[in-house]
Structure 1
């Protein structure tokens, strides 16, 4: 298949790289420093099971998606609409655009920009980071759950064949909410402390804070009429065990002086809680503290 990755950071490079290793024609749309390194040396994939350079194309703009069968849409949540507009002129009518993003509303927002194309949401379970230009480091997991669409079953098979465990589900919304709850519990704490998950959960009172955050998220989800896919509490325990060395994407953003997606994580819970009359004090504190750190003058 011909696959493009729009916004090829750590998540996009992992899944794009796995597809390229399996023989698919993959083009990464990435930042210039990654484009230069990947074009010169290939994408270094340092994973738990292999460490190798994978050859694939890398370009700096959305034209790289021209003619793609599938686009993995991996930009930050705040860039969803603008990236969708950049992508639109280059898509075929039958291109599947698969949203591999944090948050629960990106696919809906992208559909307003790409009303004539198939847009499907996906839930991503992977711990990754960009350790340097063109250098992906994989910390654990690597599964996907995707929404049904005209091409979802075909692409899910391609992903499974590429050793990316993938399932098509009718309750991706519920799974996205469980992922949102995980992110609300872990991301801001990791960002504020600049420590990985395994260290944070040992901190005094942190598990209690996480429990309060999760309880508020569940209350908002119930009021939204969401049927959660699985047990968020079990999923939170699994993160402690499977990715203890992982820093959250929010922590990585703050460490690099970049805006984070906190408005679409704890901030979304605060916003929806206000609209529904549900108090969310734990989420509000974490959201406000991360916003405060974002505005800290850079040395």
Structure 2
């Protein structure tokens, strides 16, 4: 292996194309692995942009053939949580046993799932706190604030060094658990946004939606305190302050909150994209993770459990365009059985 590792990004959709494409612009050796439709788009170049007017066209190799992982020094996994088992089977069948796997997936449990499915392999935990949206074939736009966090590892030093100052900058850390939970707190909005049917900016501009998110976050913070986990700050504000800030009147929140998070007008949650594409969502790895934490602690998480219920109903053909007050009533004051 050279000083610059050969990187294979498995599951190159929105995050994989943006992160892998951006890293390729720095000279890092990156190959993307994904579906045929994405390969056709990438052949014409990946047009990458962000909210600060950064813009670049990238031409990383893109293949549908997972066997290229055999030559990789590092596998970066960006599949949805629902695809973790299938991706692990591909890694086990093609990547060398000594090749580390960096999970850049939502939720906090995917690295543990990978360790169970790929025993003996080095599994690194990472997270991507920002949102990437499609603006057309081969066009990917980073629409919110943030940079990548990952476990410290020698193979990631080169990525950290080369990607500094880019929209896919990587910071190595010694303990990913607080960061993963800090990210999950932000991801609790995925369900609220998907159920609203609106962009993130439109949704967060309405206080009743924010009240639902604040309640889900408070519930999670209380459980984390019982569990002895202190979530890290991965956004613009310390986690314990966010619920109070979200609950402020619109006239105060709108000019400050949306600017702090640098939320692009086009941004939607990945769960909203799942709804639009007819894909299973990651609700079990987000709000469902909170429900499971509550169960392990012998407690309940009624707000997050209700959001899980509404998302599953939406996936089955139910309502996906909840007005703000209706959603707040359905989640915060559900009908008694």
TM over 0.5: yes
**Residue 333 of structure 2 aligns with which residue?**
none
What's the offset of the Cα at 1:137?
2.1
Structure 2 unpaired stretches of 5+ = 246-255, 319-337
Partners of 1:51 and 1:57 lie apart in 2 by: 19
Larger radius of gyration: 2
**Residue 41 of structure 2 aligns with which residue?**
37
What's the offset of the Cα at 1:14?
1.1
1:132-171 correspondence runs (5 A) = 132-160=136-164, 164-171=168-175
What's the offset of the Cα at 1:106?
0.6
Q: CA contact under 8 A between 2:143 and 2:263: conserved in structure 1?
A: yes
Partners of 2:155 and 2:212 lie apart in 1 by: 41
What's the offset of the Cα at 1:214?
0.7
Partners of 2:257 and 2:27 lie apart in 1 by: 31
1:87 partnered with 2:91: yes
1:223 partnered with 2:226: yes
1:47 partnered with 2:50: yes
Aligned residues: 296
What's the offset of the Cα at 1:282?
1.2
Say which of 243, 254, 275 aligns to 2:263.
Answer: 243
Q: CA contact under 8 A between 1:76 and 1:101: conserved in structure 2?
A: yes
Say which of 305, 309, 312 aligns to 1:291.
Answer: 312
* TM-score between the two structures when normalised by the length of structure 1: 0.90
What's the offset of the Cα at 1:103?
0.2
Partners of 1:251 and 1:223 lie apart in 2 by: 31
Say which of 194, 197, 203 aligns to 1:194.
Answer: 197
Q: CA contact under 8 A between 1:197 and 1:240: conserved in structure 2?
A: no
SS of 1:212's partner is helix
Say which of 272, 279, 292 aligns to 2:300.
Answer: 279
What's the offset of the Cα at 1:250?
0.6
Partners of 1:144 and 1:84 lie apart in 2 by: 22
What's the offset of the Cα at 1:61?
3.3
What's the offset of the Cα at 1:26?
1.5
Q: CA contact under 8 A between 2:129 and 2:145: conserved in structure 1?
A: yes
**Residue 253 of structure 2 aligns with which residue?**
none
Q: CA contact under 8 A between 2:221 and 2:240: conserved in structure 1?
A: no
Cα root mean square deviation, aligned: 2.3
What's the offset of the Cα at 1:194?
1.5
SS of 1:153's partner is helix
What's the offset of the Cα at 1:163?
5.8
SS of 2:47's partner is strand
SS of 2:135's partner is strand
Partners of 1:121 and 1:34 lie apart in 2 by: 25
* TM-score between the two structures when normalised by the length of structure 2: 0.81
1:120 partnered with 2:124: yes
Moved over 6 A (4+): 235-239
Q: CA contact under 8 A between 1:46 and 1:136: conserved in structure 2?
A: yes
What's the offset of the Cα at 1:193?
0.9
